[in-house]
Structure formats: structure tokens, C-alpha cells
Amino acid sequence: MNTENQLVNFNFFQPLEIRWNDMDALGHVNNVYYIEYFQIGRGYYMNAMSPSWNWMKNMFVIAHIECDFQKELRLDAKNPQIGLRISRLGNKSFDIAYVVISEGPDGHPVVHATGSSTQVIIDIESHQSIAIPAWLREDIFRLETGLES
């Protein structure tokens, strides 16, 4: 898949800080850190999407997460970023798509990894899954204008 197709519908990007300890013996980011990058990006994304979210009442848990590696990411990568978008919105869960990119030597984006995760909304007190609240759906559609309901 070409880079442009992989970046379609991503309108939220967060700069990534590649740390020395993220590297492995091959001199590139070790695979385990991509999931951490997803988590870091998810925090920024959720705050941008719904800054008034009451995290002490409703939260989500990760039911599934996956990552596909495409090109090594090195410490000297120029302008590394993570892109996020909601790719599916269900009754009690939603999927987030991820893309890790940097700026290539020609100025065009280089895709290093793609991934996805499924989040299930839960009530903090009962620890039971609940329907996605109407206010959250509204926040999602405000940020994700191309998402179908």
C-alpha cells in the first residue's frame, strides 16, 4: 500500500520523542515501544477529542491491539509523529487506527508502522462495559468528521 493511502483520514498527529532506551542492538526502535507510542498518542488524542471527559466516571480498557512494522525507525529520524483516528464506532466499543511516520529525505512521509486497537467503554465503579455515552459520540464526530455512524 502506498503512503498516501495509509494516511487517508488521519487528521490528528502528535510528535514522538524517540528515546535512546527505545533502541535495540540493531540500532532501531525495538518492537515493544511501538505499543507504548500508541498509548502515548492515544492519551493526547483522547484529550484533544474530549477535553472535558470525566476519567473518574467512565474509562476504557484495551480489548485488542496489533501493530504491523513496515520500515525501521531510528534515533535520527526527522520529525517522527504518530497519527490516530477512530476507524470504527460500535455500541460499547470503538477502534483506533495508528500510523507512525517520519519525514523522508525527499520531504515526503515515511510510514514505519501501522496498527489498531479496540477500546471498550466501562463504568469505573462497576467495572462493567457500558454503551458509549452520547456526549462521547458527539465529541468523536466533532473530531472525526469523515466517520460514519
**Against a cut of 0.85, is the pTM above it?**
yes
pLDDT tens-digit profile, the chain (149 residues)? 566 667 878 999 999 999 999 999 999 999 999 999 999 999 999 999 998 888 888 899 999 999 999 999 999 999 999 999 999 999 999 999 999 999 999 999 999 999 999 999 999 999 999 999 999 999 999 988 877 76
Q: Name the burial class of residue 6, with classes exposed (0-12), middle (13-18) and buried (19+) by CB atoms within 10 angstroms of its CB.
A: middle
Q: What is the CATH T-level fold of the domain 3-143, as seen in this structure?
A: Thiol Ester Dehydrase; Chain A (3.10.129)
Q: Which of 132, 148, 7, 18 is nearest to 78 (CA)?
A: 18
* 144 vs 138: CA distance, rounded Å: 10
